[in-house]
Structure 1
Amino acid sequence: MGTSTSSCRWSKPAGSCRPLRSAPRMARRAYDAADHCCQPASALNDAERKKLTTIVITVRFADMKFATRLNSFVSGGDVSAALRRVAATDAIDYVDLNYPEHFENLDPAAMKALLDELGLTLNGTATRFRKQFVAGEFSNPDETIRRAAIDLAKEAIDASATCGSDLLTVWLGFDGYDFTFQKDYAKDLQRIVEAFQELADYRPDFRISIEYKPYEERVHSMINSFGQTLDIIKRIDRPNLGATLDFAHMLMAGDQPGFGASLLLEDGKLFGIHLNDGNNAHDDGLMIGSIHPFETMEMIYFLLRYEWDGVIYFDTFPIREDAQDEAETNRATVELFFEKVKAVGVDRITDVIRSQDGIAAQQLRNELLGIGASKYAAELTR
């Protein structure tokens, strides 16, 4: 089970385990269902059956932590109503918030009170830089605007901490270029490095996570790939700075999600996972596993192998679909993929990987589909 000596099911390096923060909400569900657990199914009404279904899910996946994209639930700008819908979604106990977008009508203290009321835990806050920053955030040629971007990120850190989180995710959508001769690459990258160093030093107990994307909003992003992300992490050189991997962004960059996850996990620098899917060229935000099920399962395998204990965030964009149904479908898919990987066995998958045998890998994929165990793979890994 990897190199960690932690007792967590999927955790960061030894000693970094955190208790399940949504346990009180799960306990309430268990208590509500207990009155009916000994009755025959035929004696239960629909609401009671739903309670029992929820508690079964809770027991089986109590150590899995899920968050979903709040903007999929927002209608008419009503953040409070959106949070209530998220709270009513089965097995979604965490939420991510955008700053300043989701705090415009709720200050951090009021947001914390609402989250507590709903039984939701804030996983983290993400910066959202809007029109003021279209020429760049941390590499903006106007130092006044650059300073405003850094200050906005510091405000987001403070808001997130007030709400009980220790994580800020930063995606620099405008730090890039559209034409040749438009960017002083080395010097502008250094300005980005210095901005992140300032953020990391602002609160050393708070985690800063870089989310990369190869393009959009600009034609080319300054932090445009997994390799570039690794490089800038080393340049910034702060223990509380890591990366968030967005599955669709990795596909857009031509990166292999499992490859990126394994390297960050090895270094203890994987601070966030955004699961979704797409057709590689754009940030499609499709349902998890709908296009790349095997790449998703490979990433999940590495999460299990390294016993990562973070929150899995569903960064999908339901437009014609009901957001609640879509989130619950994503949850069911991820749970199924975890079950499939665990049923085959992390150690056995590791043996197949280390053999570097293409036939064994294909037969392993067949087995993950439920086609049946392979004699070839079994003999190879015996």
Structure 2
Amino acid sequence: MSNQRYGAGIWHFATYVDRYATDGYGEPRTILDAIDLAGQVRDLSVVDLNYPFFGGDFSNEQVGTALTTAGLDVIGITPEIYTRAFAKGSFTNPDPGVRRLTHELVTEAADVVRHFGADYVKLWPGQDGWDYPFQVDHGALWKASLDGVGALASENPDLKFVIEYKPREPRVHMSFDSVSRTLLGIERIGLPNVGILLDFGHALFGGESPADSAQLAIDYGRLFGMDVNDNLRGWDDDMIAGTVHPIELFEFFYTLRRNNWAGVWQLDQFPFREDSVAAADLAIDFLKAVERGLDKLDVAGVVEAQSRHDSITALRLVQQALFTSY
């Protein structure tokens, strides 16, 4: 019997807009509506919550009651430091007042993490970066990124802070844009409670091998969390996990297991046009097949093939294990 836990960002169960369907892809939902839907997913046990809670003025207690009814726990809190107020940046905003607002909002989110007994504060500073040449002083921008995160981590040593990197969007170039740059920044901050949340799709989008990115973060002791989805590499499409790159997803989880990394396997998907519960069920069904495939994989055979850089033998073993496990 597997003890693996599965999670999802609560935004998976929200409704979405884009620059074309500005009226949205469905009726608006509150966080309570989204929690109710999340509770309908088979095998889902934890969620990552946006803060402030969307769709209304809800207390921690109201959200907690909804979570209990749905049978869900909280893994993390994601403060919304990427909305209109932060259009010119959060940690890197040229306005010191907005930088203070960022600090205050993340500090509030830290208290919500404590309230729910969650694992971490997740930082996705999507507006930190630049769009044009000569727009910013790159040295000052990078220093502001590190100072902002470092101050929060220093003030809250009892909590973990995870940085979710991404190459671009909404900024044309984000400050934390890759696994290597983010690790460099974390090492410069130099605090033990700052790590990476590795988004499989962001690694694909950035031209990385997600398995290699995971190994690098693990080697530095900084892989604090992960989530999965899929895309066509040209954009952060947040498609259903395993639908486009099943072999690379399998290698990603193979890498985690080889390093004895234990944690929640979490979904970060945006089912714009799909039923959100069905999309989560499909992804988790595939992740369970991945786990069964890892159980039956001839690891010694793969390791031996890798010692010779023998891709044919390694892939034959991998395909046999994965494709007979669904």
TM-score normalised over the length of structure 2: 0.90
1:272 has 2:215 as partner: no
Measured after TM superposition, the shift of residue 225 of structure 1 is: 1.1
Superposed displacement of residue 237, structure 1: 0.9
Q: Larger C-alpha radius of gyration, 1 or 2?
A: 1
Per-residue CA shift, 1:292-311, capped at 9, x if unaligned? 11110001101211222211
In the alignment, which of 48, 51, 68 is matched to residue 96 of structure 1?
48
> Who is 2:153 aligned against?
200
* Aligned twin of 1:73: 13
Distance in structure 2 (CA, Å) of the matches to 1:124 and 1:347: 36
Alignment of 1:343 onto 2:283? no
Q: Deviations over 1:237-280 (max 9, x none)?
A: 11011001111111111111000111222333111111000000
Q: Which residue of 1 aligns with 2:17?
A: none
Residue matched to 1:368 = 321
8 Å contact kept, 2:31–2:53? no
Unmatched tracts of structure 1, length 5 or more: 1-59, 372-382
- 1:134-153 superposed matches below 5 A: 134-153=87-106
Task: Please provide the CA RMSD for this pair.
Answer: 1.9
Q: Tell me whether 262-271 or 181-190 shows the greater mean CA deviation.
A: 262-271
Deviation (angstroms), 1:104: 4.5
Please, which of 323, 331, 343 is the counterpart of residue 284 of structure 2? 331
- Describe the superposition over 1:161-213 as per-residue Cα deviations: whole angstroms up to 9, x where unpaired: 11111301111111111111111111211111111111111211100000011
Name 1:320's counterpart in structure 2.
273
Answer with 76-85 or 197-206: which moved more.
76-85
Question: What amino acid maps onto 2:13 in structure 1?
Answer: F
Structure 2: segments with no counterpart, 5+ residues: 15-26
**SS of equivalent residue, structure 2 residue 196:** strand
State yes or no: 1:245 paired with 2:185.
Answer: no
Q: Contact conserved, 1:258 with 1:302, CA < 8 A, in 2? A: yes
Offset, 1:334: 0.5
Structure 1 outlier segments of 4+, above 6 Å? none
- Which structure 2 residues correspond to residues 114-263 of structure 1 after superposition, within 5 A? 114-129=66-81, 130-263=83-216
TM-score normalised according to structure 1 size: 0.78
1:5-50 C-alpha deviation (Å, 9 max, x unpaired): xxxxxxxxxxxxxxxxxxxxxxxxxxxxxxxxxxxxxxxxxxxxxx
Deviation at 1:217, TM superposition (A): 0.5
The amino acid across from 2:66 in the alignment is L
The answer as to whether partners of 2:196 and 2:225 remain within 8 angstroms in 1 is yes
Report if aligned partners of 1:166, 1:205 keep a CA contact under 8 Å in 2: no
Question: SS where residue 93 of structure 1 aligns?
Answer: strand
Q: How many residues in Structure 1 have an aligned counterpart in Structure 2? A: 312
Percent identity of paired positions between Structure 1 and Structure 2? 31
